[in-house]
Amino acid sequence: MAGGKGSSLPGKVVLRLFPQALETWAQRLNSRIIVVTGTNGKTTTNNMLASIFSSLGYWVVTNWEGANLASGLTSAFLRSTSWKGDLSCDWALLEVDEAAFPKVIASLRPAVVVVTNFFRDQLDRYGELDRTVSLVKEALLKLPPTKLVLNADDPLVVKLADTSHPVIFYGIGVPVRAGKEEEPCREARFCPYCGRELQYQYYHYSQLGAYRCPGCGFARPTTQVEALAVKILDGHISCRVRVGDRVVDCELPTLGFYNVYNALAVFGVGMWLGLPTEVIARELGHYVPATGRLQRFVHRGRPVYLNLVKNPAGFNESLRLLSMSSETKDVFIALNDNEADGRDVSWIWDVDFENLLPQGSVLSFVCSGKRAADMALRLRYAGVPLRKIEVLPRLEDGVRAALAGQGKSVYFMATYTALWPVEKLLRRYGKEERDADRLPSLS
């Protein structure tokens, strides 16, 4: 895995020698396996689950490094297996790549499957969005009865309820941000059943929100887990969550509105398994973001944030963070086109960089990585003044230039294979906050 930590290599070797390894481990766990899939939020949701299960005293297998193909999952199991072949764990909590999902879950046969959302992502690898949804749906149809936790606010995810598995739906039940119907990055404008354009009472971002089809009546389903109130505050998020007939307050010590969805998915798993709702809320209050998930550093007294960007929906949410503060800031963007990133970088033209124009608070943009010039060209077409753009393909040069900016904070955004090298450089030049408690991860 270019740019990564090579965490999949032991798994590749084992699968070459013993292709049934995952199936054998799954049989030993007797279905005590939870799988998280979807386009965005897999790592955070899975690591939230892992931290809660660990706090409850369970031994868990988890791919905390984010290696979410079969080889990465195999490596995760290997770390909990003795040289005699004994597996030491109570549960396996695994995030799984959408394209790998069909083959992997056929071996694992999990007790619970969480599906976070579907957005366009690496079209040269996954193909169009409809294909990804179909892959997951067809794989679920082949499973014995399996508990599902589905995002009710995503009409593409709700289609998976047709698989006849028992479902807990989660969603955000109140408008939080002033979403505009004409906002361009919406993945699923039309009803997946009759093709009429969906009408929204409100929406949160991309296609997520309260929708209804005027043609066939398809609509956001009733939720069992729902955020009743959400406040985005300085440096954290406060929300009130209904889980069945219980209501708890939950504080998420992280930026990023989308993390509310990740937390709700965790409550959904807890509801299926009967985990104490108050314990989940308490542990989420201590959650520390994984590597590249709004990971926080300090450099010469200035806050520095590092975030993974890999598709238009996620990138747009990262750009929204820039508007949360009127203070001046510098922005670094690393764009690679290695295999793990996706060779086709045309997706950056679907990111709403034009929304940056009213934000005079951004003092400079440093474009780095293998496709730094493409990134700079995209910013220029978005109307960013040339004097604000600097092109430094070598990552270290770019990181140093961004840290030398005059803004009161620095935002680093990096595609998959640039993330680890950038994180390493930030550790060299800055200091990470709350390092001791962090669950490192990628993807």
Tokens of 115: 């599906």
Question: Could you give the CA distance from residue 172 to residue 87 in angstroms, rounded to a whole number?
Answer: 38
Q: Quick count: other Cβ atoms within 10 Å of Cβ 16?
A: 9
135's enclosing H/E stretch is: helix 129-141
Terminal C-alpha separation, the chain:
12
Question: Could you give the CA distance from residue 313 to residue 291 in angstroms, rounded to a whole number?
Answer: 19
Question: Could you give the CA distance from residue 433 to residue 114 in angstroms, rounded to a whole number?
Answer: 30
> What are the pLDDT digits (tens) for 210-234?
999 999 999 999 999 999 999 988 7
Q: Which residues contact 81 (CB under 8 A, 6 or more apart)?
A: 25, 87, 88
Report the DSSP pairing between strands 199-205 and 208-212.
Answer: antiparallel
Report the DSSP pairing between strands 167-172 and 147-151.
Answer: parallel
The pLDDT, as a whole number, for residue 255 is 78
The pLDDT, as a whole number, for residue 436 is 37
Q: Quick count: other Cβ atoms within 10 Å of Cβ 121?
A: 22
Cα 272 to Cα 263, 269, 276, 277, 365: the distances in Å are 15, 5, 11, 11, 45
Q: What angle is formed at CA 411 by the lines to CA 406 and CA 413, rounded to 5 degrees?
A: 140
pTM: 0.86
Q: Which residues contact 435 (CB under 8 A, 6 or more apart)?
A: none
Question: Could you give the CA distance from residue 266 to residue 47 in angstroms, rounded to a whole number?
Answer: 10
Strand partners of residue 306: 295, 412
Asked if 344 is an active-site residue, the reply is yes
Taken in order 268, 273, 278, 282, the sign of the CA dihedral is negative
Count, in order, helices (H) and strands (E) of the chain.
14, 18
- Low pLDDT (below 50) residues in the chain: 1-3, 181-182, 435-443
H helix intervals, 335-394: 372-381
* Residue at token pair 């590749």: 12
Cα 430 to Cα 5, 35, 291, 308, 433: the distances in Å are 21, 35, 15, 18, 10
Q: Which of 242, 255, 266, 268 is nearest to 173 (CA)?
A: 242
Question: Could you give the CA distance from residue 360 to residue 20 in angstroms, rounded to a whole number?
Answer: 56
Question: Could you give the CA distance from residue 121 to residue 311 in angstroms, rounded to a whole number?
Answer: 5
Strand partners of residue 414: 308, 334
3-class secondary structure, 209: strand
Question: Could you give the CA distance from residue 6 to residue 190 in angstroms, rounded to a whole number?
Answer: 41
Q: Quick count: other Cβ atoms within 10 Å of Cβ 252?
A: 24
Say which amino acid occupies 280: I
CA 162 to chain centre: 24
Cα 68 to Cα 96, 194, 358: the distances in Å are 5, 34, 38
| Annotated catalytic residue, options 344, 350, 352, 437 | 344
The pLDDT, as a whole number, for residue 438 is 43
Q: What is the mean pLDDT of the chain?
A: 89
Q: Which of 240, 239, 418 is nearest to 340 (CA)?
A: 418
Angle at which helix 9-17 crosses helix 70-79, to 10 degrees, equals 100
> What are the pLDDT digits (tens) for 239-293?
999 999 999 999 998 878 899 999 999 999 999 999 999 999 999 998 877 777 7
Tokens of 301: 């007294």
